[in-house]
Amino acid sequence: MSRVEELADRHDGAMPPSARPFFSLIPLEEILGEIMQTGSASKRVRQVYERLVSRLGGELHLLLNTGLDEVRSVAGDVLALALARMRSGEVCKEPGYDGRFGRVRVFRDNEEGLLFSGSLLDAPLKRTRRRAAPAGKAPAEKAGAGELKMSPVQQEIAACHEGRLVVRAGPGTGKTRTLVERARSLLAAGQSPVLAVTFTVKAADEIRERLGRDERVEVSTFHALAARILRESGVVFRIADEDMLEETALRWGLGGDGSFVRDLLLRLSTGRTLEPEQSFLMETLQAEGYYTFEGMIREAIRLVGSGRFTPVWEHVMVDEFQDINPVQYEFLKALTPRVKSLMVIGDPNQAIYGFRGSNPASFDDFLRDHPDARCLDLTQTYRFSSSIAAGSNAFIGREAVVSRRAGAPITVVRTSSGPEFMAREIESLAGGLSHRTAGRARADYPLSEIAVIVRTRQQARPVMEALARASIPFDTAYAKPLASLPGVRERLALLELKGWQTLVRGVGERTAVKAAISGQADSAAARRLKEADRLLTSLDGPVLERLRLLEESSLFKLPVLKSDHVLYRYAQMFGDDTDGFVRFLSLSNDQDALAEEKVRVITAHAAKGLEFGCVFIPGISSGMYPMEGCPEDEERNLFYVAMTRAVDRLYLVCSNGGPAPFLSRIPRECCEYREDARRERKEQLLLF
């Protein structure tokens, strides 16, 4: 299939002018069967289906048009969430193979315990009973299948409505669910307004969605919250992102290797004194209305302190607290001196953003500032098996999580060629994508459930080359802002009228500079520039319509984006709010664009917050893990994050004979060992 896509002469999503619009839907009975954990043709599903259709209208109307609030009031949060995901295309696609049909699902396996504990038509959802396990064996559980009810510790956290609370929660222990349930408990007790702060737009949107977008709870990132405070205080601003800072520094002769900007951003996030050149750059940009992300937070702190903005929240919760930097912590203190309750939740062992100023000591700082705070630990993981739990606990030297689920041991592979080994193994795991692997195909995972987590982008290159040689589709994400991605960056430049001249077809850098300086260019280029200028200044209406007009004009050199690209989904969400759309993309990571049936090749930093059925971690050797010259405690945390992204299978791939310091920390009883010294050889399939 990847070869077909390579040879295609039209981009994905291209449609002839006469084509009629269409919608991608999942039959209501299949959605109900998934929620109720039973067959879509069962009597139970049919009864619920008929009641829903009688109360909410016909099936097509319900799937396409019925308001989610109406669905929620009649059928509950779970069905409303399922319909919202289906309508936005946020579904799990498992391709078919060898005569077996593929599946389209709304929920992942690990969301059983988190989402299916609600109700449907006022009746509680019940887990389908499983056959009892033989004596002496633990019952098998699906990945991530947790208890239907909250654990006693989670219940205690949810019931805590006063004072300061510190929650240390390991990977997969239900941090998000605990935060959501505490917010619901506060609302049920009449305690509002509530503020929940997290570090990524994706996490904020997930919390918002689970809470039914209740207006009594504001869910935001630190940067989006600071931007809101600036807007409501009358401050007109634009965001100076890292790319803009580097371009400006290069023009000013302040270094072109990025070190000046990296040092500037670190000083801004940690509150350290700026160098004279850095101070001058910041003052110049702010005079023109530009703020860095941390600059927005500093300005928000000033506005709160001066009384121009008054916080109104009675209860504040902060997710992923280990990622907070000193400036964000000062922001938190400025917002919360008089709140009834303040909860921080996170995992000190997942503090991996030291280069941005974050520090696992943030928990110690909080306890020093609030010595009367209650401390609770979440340790029951619903994500991975006992083998991965035991191995990761031993690696960090602390019993951070426990798992009740048995699973395959961690696979340690020594090989002379890691990328080729991983390509062969992925082919086998995905069901055999070529004739060479047909004999050993297992079809354990769809491609989107397989990830290769690398330490650096340079390490990713040979992996991607090996996957390409094997015709295995793959995608990448490096935790960069969506606004910086090719195709997105150019469209935003046109919407913002910023540096758009070189995007006009037939206009190069030299022509654009000549036109800017003298107002003159060759006649053909001048005509195109004038035509493009007229179009850009006349754009009006919804963001999605503006993008369509820009693309259909054929005036601009725009990389092709697939029709289901996340950019268009967000454009539809923002309606006419172009400024909000641009700011949102500047704050969103490229992880959000990973939505296709492809293997993920991502850095350990970008993998934070994600999970996959099968994970490969290559290059486990001295100099890579730990990275030479980097703090070992942060390198330890980074490797721990990579290990704990795996739900079922974890491969640690290292070179033959090379030292692997991190590997020695993992007990042998948690692992199985494989040697892979051979090279790929051609296999002749038997014809008879």
Q: Which residues pair with 380 in a beta bridge?
A: 402
DSSP state for residue 164 in the 8-state scheme: E
Would you state the pLDDT for residue 120?
63
For every residue of 294-360, DSSP letters joined together read HHHHHHHHHHHHTTSS----SEEEESSGGG--HHHHHHHHHH-TT-SEEEEEE-GGG---GGGT--T
Count CB neighbours of 1 within 10 A.
10
Q: Look up residue 235 and give its two tokens.
A: 């401050």
Kind of pairing between the strands at 103-105 and 92-94 = antiparallel
Would you state the pLDDT for residue 13?
65
CA distance 298 to 285: 15
pLDDT (mean) for 186-213 = 90
Would you state the pLDDT for residue 433?
52
CA distance 584 to 543: 13
pLDDT (mean) for 360-386 = 93
Q: pLDDT, tens digit, for every residue of 619-668?
A: 888 677 888 888 888 999 999 999 999 999 999 999 876 678 899 899 99
Tell me: pLDDT of 92 over 80: yes
Higher pLDDT, 343 or 239: 343
CA distance 346 to 326: 16
Which of 83, 73, 1 is closest to 35 using CA atoms? Answer: 83
Higher pLDDT, 232 or 250: 232
pLDDT (mean) for 538-559 = 91
Residue 195 host element (H or E): strand 194-198
Select, from the ranges 122-126, 129-133, 449-453, the one with the highest average predicted confidence (pLDDT): 449-453
Higher pLDDT, 247 or 651: 651
pLDDT (mean) for 232-238 = 91
CA distance 671 to 510: 60
CATH number of 152-237+289-378: 3.40.50.300
Count CB neighbours of 510 within 10 A.
10
Would you state the pLDDT for residue 123?
58
CA distance 240 to 201: 18
Select, from the ranges 77-91, 193-207, 334-348, 420-434, the one with the highest average predicted confidence (pLDDT): 334-348
Contacts of residue 602, defined as CB under 8 A and 6 or more positions apart, other chains included, come to 451, 452, 453, 454, 460, 476, 477, 478, 591, 594, 610
pTM beyond cutoff 0.85: no
Band of pLDDT at residue 518, cut at 50, 70 and 90: very low
Domains 152-237+289-378 and 400-435+442-478+595-676 share a fold: yes
Q: Look up residue 140 and give its two tokens.
A: 């098998």
CATH architecture observed for domain 400-435+442-478+595-676 = 3-Layer(aba) Sandwich (3.40)
Percent helix, percent strand, percent coil in the chain, to nearest 5: 45, 15, 40
Would you state the pLDDT for residue 322?
94
Would you state the pLDDT for residue 480?
65
CA distance 419 to 506: 41
Band of pLDDT at residue 121, cut at 50, 70 and 90: low
Q: Which residues pair with 377 in a beta bridge?
A: 168
CB 548 within 8 A of CB 491: no
Would you state the pLDDT for residue 556?
92
Would you state the pLDDT for residue 368?
96
Which of 324, 410, 336, 406 is closest to 370 using CA atoms? Answer: 336
CB 452 within 8 A of CB 472: no
* Domains of the chain by residue range: 3-12+20-116, 152-237+289-378, 400-435+442-478+595-676, 482-587
Q: pLDDT, tens digit, for every residue of 464-503?
A: 999 989 989 888 875 567 787 888 989 998 998 887 888 9
